[in-house]
Amino acid sequence: HNEDYKHLADRTSVEMKLQKTKNIPTEVCGFKVKLDGSEVSLSKAAGDEKIEINFNVNHSVDSDTEPDINPNMDKPNIELKSRPTFEVDIKRGDRTLGFTCSYISHNQEQQENDGFSDDIFGIDEVTFYEGEWKDSNYAVSGEVLDGYLYDLLMNLLEEKGITNELMEKVSDFATAYEHSSYIHMLESVQKFSAGK
């Protein structure tokens, strides 16, 4: 049992050394950050519109690239990145144009990259509604949108500031926040296991 606790303490210590960001920023590219457990909300006002990006860091981490694993290495150095599915809501009054988007994986990017798109994210779903969101609101899959409409909506997102550069920074933020949350969980489990 003591060996298990030592391993947990060692793992926590290693993760703390790997932590790149000690303080989680309160703003990302002009978007105010609101945290609630694993839920993250980024928001900013732009004229008569409010733009929100919402995501959850749970189960959002993948390795950045396929590592070249050397069998002689104790542990391969794999860069983990949080690439959560995210919601973008553009609100004007009580009307909302909503998007569900996801990061394009490197493998998917290589298959799809035929010179037309350098996007790091894509639209999975689009909806438009008045008032509060309800499950009965109509939504259309990004896969069935014709190419012209899809590009038009991607351009609209870019005009609203939802760019590759912003979403790369959001991924960096999500990575730092997820890692911080993981360390906090390890510390809590360590204390709990020790009976504290």
Q: Where are the domains of the chain?
A: 2-63+78-190
CATH topology assigned to domain 2-63+78-190: Mitochondrial Matrix Protein; Chain A (3.10.280)
Tell me the C-alpha distance between 32 and 29, whole Å.
9
Amino acid at 90: I
Q: What is the pTM of this model?
A: 0.83
pLDDT digits (tens, 9 = 90+) for 157-182: 999 999 999 999 999 999 999 999 99
pLDDT of residue 78: 60
pLDDT digits (tens, 9 = 90+) for 114-131: 445 689 999 999 999 999
pLDDT of residue 76: 47
* 22 confidence band (pLDDT: 50, 70, 90): confident
How many other CB atoms are found less than 10 A from the CB of residue 92?
A: 11
Tally: H helices and E strands in the chain:
4, 10
